[in-house]
């Protein structure tokens, strides 16, 4: 690692109160994520970042990790990472450019629309989810979704020209995030006792990276409407840049939603996605996987807008994904069937939008 190792933030994630409000909740001082997932120390080795989030059976192999494990802990990678090597000024610039874009007139934003001729949905561009069914729940958010990698596959027609810095900021930011993604994947491979580049090599030159800019305007009824409904990210890994001032993200754990505080100290949040779960979670049959894509959602705020920027790292759509061979043995056979990434994505959308449950990885279980 060129920048001396990422650090995990000791986070104090409080249970959300019943009306979904993220910022006002002080019902409980129970620091679940802080005590269970993150050791109480400020600087951890790179290896420990992920160890904090791994299943206890793997964790026991790691002398450097001070995590206290409880039987039945679920395992998920959803931690705030600092000392990640990205300049705070760059993170601020991306946030400012995003905010400026969302504050443009609707007419201006529609120049990047995700609807062709105002009707036909496409993944890239400005807008909301595709509406597939009459009773589909829509999110209280505006989005700009852009393919960032491979660089040759960028559709600049969707890339805003206002603010002027937007394109350059995103380009630079993507380069930094890619390096962080590599660091995280190498650390994960090490923990799994795989070849260091084994996971990085799952991403060939056609592996897509999408940037999703989320804007959550103030919402008059936060008790009724969610900014993003419960989901687990589909791609393999997400690097999330969050608003410094307004919280809203929540994670589900043991049936309770927990608030993630606003990222006032320039932390990034790393999520494991479902693709990675299918790829690497094989040996722990008893525990349903070493890594799982954590379920999360975003709540709305009555008074304040919120911005976040997610970089989603997927694998080549033509790639067949399934358990990595090195992780399988006679005692630990595959738990998931193999499928091309593009077919898995279709299934995921059907499940998620159709309300049949957001965890497509479960549908793939053998
Ligand atoms: O806004 C956030 O903090 C999370 C966004 C998110 O979960 C997503 O874009 O998939
Ligand atoms: Fe997400």
- pLDDT given at position 349: 74
User: How many angstroms separate the CA atoms of 295 and 298, rounded?
Assistant: 11
Q: How many whole angstroms separate alpha carbon 116 and alpha carbon 232? A: 28
Q: What pLDDT, on the 0 to 100 scale, is given for residue 285?
A: 31
Residue nearest to ligand 1 atom 3, measured at CA: 249
* Closest to 192 measured CA to CA, from 325, 311, 315: 325
CATH number for 308: 2.60.120.330
Provide the pLDDT confidence category of residue 106 given band limits of 50, 70 and 90.
Answer: very high
pLDDT tens profile 150-187: 999 999 999 999 999 999 999 999 999 998 888 878 87
Q: Which residues line ligand 1 (CB under 6 A)?
A: 212, 214, 228, 233, 240, 242, 249, 296, 298, 308, 310
What number is the average pLDDT over the span 320-342? 78
Within-domain flag for 29: no
Residue to probe by mutation, ligand 1, list 129, 209, 298, most atoms within 8 Å of CB: 298
What is the number of domains present in the chain?
A: 1
Record the pTM. Answer: 0.78
CA of 212, nearest ligand number: 1
| Surface-to-core class of residue 199, CB atoms within 10 Å of its CB (0-12 exposed, 13-18 middle, 19+ buried) | buried
Ligand 1 centroid – CA 43 distance (Å): 26
How confident is residue 83, by pLDDT bands cut at 50, 70 and 90? low
Of 341, 346, 314, residue with least CA distance to 153: 314
Ligand 2 mean position, distance from CA 63 (Å): 31
Tell me which of 137 and 46 has the higher pLDDT.
137
Cα of 252 vs centre of ligand 2, distance in Å, is 12
Average pLDDT, stretch 278-296?
Answer: 53
pLDDT at residue number 205: 93
Please give the pLDDT value at position 258: 77
Q: What angle (nearest 5°) sits at the alpha carbon of residue 291, between those of residues 286 and 295?
A: 105
pLDDT of residue 65: 31
pLDDT bucket at 277, cuts 50 / 70 / 90? low
Q: Which atom of ligand 1 is nearest to the CA of 243?
A: 3
pLDDT at 204 over 50: yes
Does a structural domain hold residue 150?
yes
Kindly state whether residue 302 falls inside one of the protein's structural domains.
yes
pLDDT at 356 over 70: no
Q: pLDDT of 26-45, one tens digit each?
A: 322 222 222 222 222 223 33
DSSP three-state, residue 256: strand
Q: Give a yes or no: residue 103 inside a domain.
A: yes
- Residue 33 inside a domain? The answer is no
What is the H or E stretch that residue 188 is in?
A: helix 166-191
Full domain range(s) for residue 323: 79-363
Packed helices 88-102 and 166-191: angle between N→C axes, nearest 10 degrees? 130
The answer to whether residue 356 sits within a structural domain is: yes
Are 220 and 159 within 8 A, CB to CB?
Answer: no
End-to-end CA, the chain: 37
pLDDT of residue 353: 57
* Cβ atoms of residues 226 and 139 within 8 Å: yes
Burial class for 168, CB neighbours closer than 10 Å (0-12, 13-18, 19+): exposed
Tell me which residue has tokens 């595709």.
130
237: part of which helix (H) or strand (E)? strand 237-242
Q: What is the pLDDT of residue 255?
A: 76
Flag whether 42 is in a domain: no
The pLDDT value recorded for residue 3 is 36
Closest among 38, 73, 82, 357 to 229, alpha carbons compared: 357
Instruction: Decide if 59 is inside a domain.
Output: no
Contacts of 168 (CB under 8 A, 6+ apart): none
Atom in ligand 1 nearest the alpha carbon of residue 238: 10
Q: How much helix, strand and coil, in percent to the nearest 5, is found in the chain? A: 30, 20, 50
């Amino acid at each position: 690692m060129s920048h001396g190792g990422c650090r995990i933030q000791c986070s104090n994630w409080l249970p959300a109160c019943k009306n979904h409000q993220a910022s006002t909740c002080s019902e409980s001082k129970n620091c679940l994520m802080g005590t269970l997932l993150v050791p109480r120390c400020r600087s951890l080795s790179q290896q420990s970042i992920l160890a904090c989030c791994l299943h206890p059976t793997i964790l026991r192999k790691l002398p450097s990790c001070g995590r206290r494990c409880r039987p039945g802990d679920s395992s998920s990678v959803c931690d705030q990472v600092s000392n990640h090597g990205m300049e705070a000024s760059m993170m601020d610039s991306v946030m400012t450019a995003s905010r400026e874009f969302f504050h443009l007139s609707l007419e201006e934003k529609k120049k990047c629309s995700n609807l062709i001729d105002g009707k036909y949905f496409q993944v890239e561009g400005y807008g909301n989810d595709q509406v597939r069914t009459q009773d589909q729940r829509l999110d209280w958010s505006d989005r700009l979704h852009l393919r960032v990698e491979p660089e040759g596959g960028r559709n600049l027609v969707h890339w805003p020209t206002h603010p002027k810095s937007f394109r350059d900021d995103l380009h630079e930011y993507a380069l930094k995030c890619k390096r962080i993604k590599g660091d995280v994947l190498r650390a994960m491979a090490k923990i799994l006792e795989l070849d260091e580049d084994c996971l990085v090599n799952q991403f060939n030159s056609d592996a897509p990276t999408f940037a999703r800019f989320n804007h959550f305007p103030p919402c008059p009824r936060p008790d009724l409407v969610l900014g993003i409904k419960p989901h687990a990210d589909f791609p393999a890994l997400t690097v999330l840049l969050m608003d410094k001032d307004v919280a809203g993200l929540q994670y589900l754990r043991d049936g309770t939603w927990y608030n993630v505080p606003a990222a006032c100290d320039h932390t990034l949040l790393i999520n494991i996605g479902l693709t990675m779960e299918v790829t690497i979670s094989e040996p722990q049959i008893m525990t349903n996987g070493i890594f799982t894509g954590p379920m999360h959602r975003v709540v709305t705020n009555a008074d304040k807008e919120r911005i976040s920027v997610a970089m989603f790292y997927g694998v080549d759509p033509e790639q067949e994904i399934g358990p990595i061979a090195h992780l399988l043995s006679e005692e630990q056979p595959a738990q998931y069937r193999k499928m091309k990434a593009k077919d898995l994505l279709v299934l995921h959308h059907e499940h998620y939008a159709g309300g049949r449950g957001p965890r497509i990885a479960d549908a793939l279980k053998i």
